[in-house]
Structure 1
Amino acid sequence: MPNPEYAAYQPAAPYFDLVREALGDLVDGEHFFDVITGETVYEVRYDVPGWPRIITGRVDLMAAFRGYVDGIALRSADKLVVHKTDDGTVVVIEYEVHGTILATGVKYDNRFCSIVRIENRKIAHWRDYMDSLAAWNALTAQARG
């Protein structure tokens, strides 16, 4: 049964489900937030207004994603490619997300590459790269008429 604590994050469910699929049995926990600890470092290698470059810990990451789901609703995540290295302690995942910018109704499609380091069957460090131009174009586009 899904954790009711995560209900508010439903607009990002395709992303969370894809990540959980990508990490498979390398980590313990049903949901993305179940495999994050109080010490996990989530680092993004791009600038997006309102999104910090480094987030530490589950509580702060959940707060950041709360802002994300207030602004973007994903309808799907796909094109997953998983590269396991270092006996599964480092996983590189490539994927795409597809959704809508809620304030404008503008279509949002983006590509990502994330490098995930796993320790003690949890995510210890996440480094994220994305198509910054795709995000910029979607976030700055005019509302649909």
Structure 2
Amino acid sequence: MTVTSREIVERMLRVGREVDVEAFVELMAPDGYIEWPYRPAGVPARLRGREEIHRFLTETGKSFVRFDEFQDVVLHETTDPEVIIVEYEARGTVIATGAPFHQTVIAVFRVRDGQIQSYRDYINPLPLMEALASVADSTAAAPTRGI
């Protein structure tokens, strides 16, 4: 049975929310890429290949934001059967501060032969910038101990 592009993208959303790095990387084509066209400083513009994606997600995936749910998920199938556009609201918690996190996302996926060739993640960078600043502020405000 052939898996549709829509089913692959639904699976990617699920493993992304669950921060299942291994399953996430397996859904990517060996030379596939993730792009963030709108991003704050310090976030890479593009990750290419499973190894680079795995390294980035392992280093940052479980340490910054815990996603509790994706709400109002709408998948748009296009006239190109390889392209799926997804809109959703990501809700979670900034791990270091316990602050709520809310992100609006539009993502464009290209799926070929059951693997994601490209994943362009058009996030609203402002919530991410606020979360990064709150973590930096909480780290700076932490008391230091003298010797």
What TM-score does the superposition give when structure 2 sets the normalisation length?
0.71
Q: Which residue of 1 aligns with 2:31?
A: 39
Write the deviation string for residues 43-96 of structure 1: whole angstroms up to 9, x where unpaired: 111223442110001221122222132111111112110111134210000111
Secondary structure in 2 matching 1:33: helix
Residue from 32, 38, 48 that aligns with 2:40: 48
Q: Which residue of 1 aligns with 2:50?
A: 58
Residue from 74, 86, 93 that aligns with 2:86: 93
**Which protein shows a greater Rg?**
2
Deviation at 1:138, TM superposition (A): 2.4
Asked if the contact 2:15/2:24 (under 8 Å) is kept, the reply is: no
Residue from 95, 103, 110 that aligns with 1:102: 95
What TM-score does the superposition give when structure 1 sets the normalisation length?
0.72
Write the deviation string for residues 6-38 of structure 1: whole angstroms up to 9, x where unpaired: xxxxxxxxx741769xxxxxxxxxx43321122
Percent identity of paired positions between Structure 1 and Structure 2: 24
Where in structure 1 do 4 or more consecutive aligned residues deviate above 4 Å? none
The aligned amino acid for 1:123 is I
Q: Which residue of 1 aligns with 2:72?
A: 79
- Within the alignment, does 1:116 sit opposite 2:113 as a pair? no
Secondary structure in 2 matching 1:64: helix
Q: Which residue of 2 aligns with 1:6?
A: none
The aligned amino acid for 1:140 is A
Aligned residues: 122
The aligned amino acid for 1:75 is D
* CA–CA distance in structure 1, aligned partners of residues 78 and 121 of structure 2: 17
Distance 1:116 1:19, change over 3 A: farther
Residue from 136, 139, 145 that aligns with 2:129: 136
The gaps in structure 2 that reach 5 residues or longer are: 1-11, 18-22, 139-147
* CA–CA distance in structure 1, aligned partners of residues 52 and 15 of structure 2: 21
